[in-house]
Structure 1
Amino acid sequence: MRADDWDEREIETYPRSGRFLANRARRDMAERHKRILEDAIEEVETIARPTRVLARGREYNHSTMLIEGYVMRSIDGPTRRHGLSFHVPGDFVDLHCFALKRLDHNLDTVGPVTLGYVRHERLQQIIADEPELARLLWFATLVDAAIHREWIMKLEQLTVPRRVAHLFAENWYRLRLVGLGDERGFDTPLTQANLAEMVGATTIHVNRAIKELRQEELVGFARGRIDIPDLQRLQKYAEFNPDYLYGAAAFAPFRSGVAGNGGGEGGGDVLTP
């Protein structure tokens, strides 16, 4: 799959949910299911500044689609915030809240965002009436879990510079899946403080890590822009393998009554610009 394998008509037709599972299971979604999901987003909110949109321990009656911008899962420690994962447009960032009602972590915006809200009553109706669409929602939560598992391992395995490199490689890959970013990198509101929260380091260590990555000519990071001059070098340095993101090459599509039909086998290829 090429990185430009993206149809802007999806966003024109489904402006709120058109990036959901793009270049993953979306290609197997019926148009009827796309319309049901689009119409389920009954409220849209634009938030200009970093904001905690869901707080740990509180109960909620809606789940949230990230339409534009970045969201970070986090847990507050005694002295600092700890990042658990970043989310990109098209992510249903808190489907877990539908089943759990309250989360064991927070959802914090990073930079300006646009969010869409789906009432849990509507999700309950979708699950009861549309089992194939319910299965795709389940798939989205399983991808979230796969990302968490990968990061648990990488935090144990990698040095701070390689963790930062891995985060950059992952974010570039995920943005390209949903038709964002470009061949040379991506724009981002992430700060060195955000990176430190995510990779389990201090801002001083992250500053040194970015300096090392620049010296190795692996990335450039300045003024809200991450430049990646050689993606394959970055992926090799970061020990990044995109299998856990379940891109198009790795997903076995679901077809009613035909188990396992039409899916490719094996892991995800390196996404090419």
Structure 2
Amino acid sequence: MLHPIVRKLAAFGPLGADEEAVLAGLGTGAQRVEGRQDLLAEGAAPESAVLIVEGVACRYRHRPSGARQITGYLLPGDLCDPDLVHLGRMNHSVGTIGPCRVARVPHEVLSDLTARHAGIARALRLAKLAEEETTREWMMNVGCRSAIERVAHLLCELHERLGTVGWATRSGYDFPLTQQDIADTAGLSNVHVNRVLRQLRLMRLVEVGGRRVDILDLAGLRRVAEFQDGYLRPAAE
């Protein structure tokens, strides 16, 4: 199977064999990090981007009260964050959800790579645009959609993204999400998320539990979510 970053970036356009080999090499030396550990801390000045090779991480911020908002998920093949060197210091944190394998990629390595490989540079730019589109879609989620639509949309998005890199099948995917993680993503309470997941299960659309998302009716789940995946691939046309 191709390396996750190769599978992800190839979705934005063709890559040459040499470009695929270079990308796969970025994962060399990946190390295991346990769940619920910070990879990048708010206020830090990162010297390297983080490549998720296995597992799931998230971007998040805490309020002074301790309340957390998850603002994005990083899946296998995601590179976080090739442009942070231009920002000086992090204004959010990045932490693992479950156990991960991650590789640190120095910014000078990325700069050299994009300078020598136009296909990779283009794919990374399009991947960044997709991330920006995803942020706007999440704003729609919290601002306009009902609780059941928010949760269904999140589960559909994760299914689509994981499928692109070979980590999901039509029937579902492994994912170490807790109800609190979903609540912190969708702007809901833990109790409300529990009710929504129960409703989705009673509708025979999806079952979530035991670090697994089992999709019972993908078409039905997408209808409830009003899910359209075009925002994940802005260069598809």
TM-score (norm 2): 0.92
Q: Distance in 2 between matches of 1:142 and 1:37?
A: 19
Instruction: State the aligned residue count.
Output: 236
> How much has 1:42 moved relative to structure 2?
5.1
> How much has 1:137 moved relative to structure 2?
1.5
Equivalent residue letter for 1:34: E
Q: Distance in 2 between matches of 1:156 and 1:78?
A: 23
Q: Distance in 2 between matches of 1:121 and 1:87?
A: 22
Equivalent residue letter for 1:30: G
Deviations 1:82-129 (A, max 9, x none): 101112111112223133243221111001101111101111222333
> How much has 1:173 moved relative to structure 2?
0.9
> How much has 1:161 moved relative to structure 2?
1.6
Q: Is the 8 A contact 1:42 1:118 kept in 2?
A: no
Spell out the pairing of 1:209-220 with structure 2 (5 A cutoff): 209-220=196-207
Spell out the pairing of 1:1-273 with structure 2 (5 A cutoff): 8=1, 10-11=2-3, 17-22=5-10, 24-25=11-12, 28-41=14-27, 43-79=29-65, 80-246=67-233, 251-252=235-236, 265=237
Deviations 1:11-46 (A, max 9, x none): 4xxxx7444325x125x0111112222334454111
Secondary structure of the residue aligned to 1:83 is: strand
> How much has 1:183 moved relative to structure 2?
1.9
Equivalent residue letter for 2:134: I
TM-score (norm 1): 0.81
Aligned match of 1:261: none
Secondary structure of the residue aligned to 1:20 is: helix
Change (3 A) 1:175 1:41: closer
Deviations 1:157-181 (A, max 9, x none): 1111211111001111111111112
Long gaps (5+) in structure 1: 1-7, 253-264, 266-273
Equivalent residue letter for 2:51: M
Q: CA RMSD in A?
A: 1.8
Percent same amino acid at aligned positions? 32
Q: Is the 8 A contact 1:62 1:120 kept in 2?
A: yes
> How much has 1:202 moved relative to structure 2?
1.1
Q: Distance in 2 between matches of 1:233 and 1:42?
A: 40
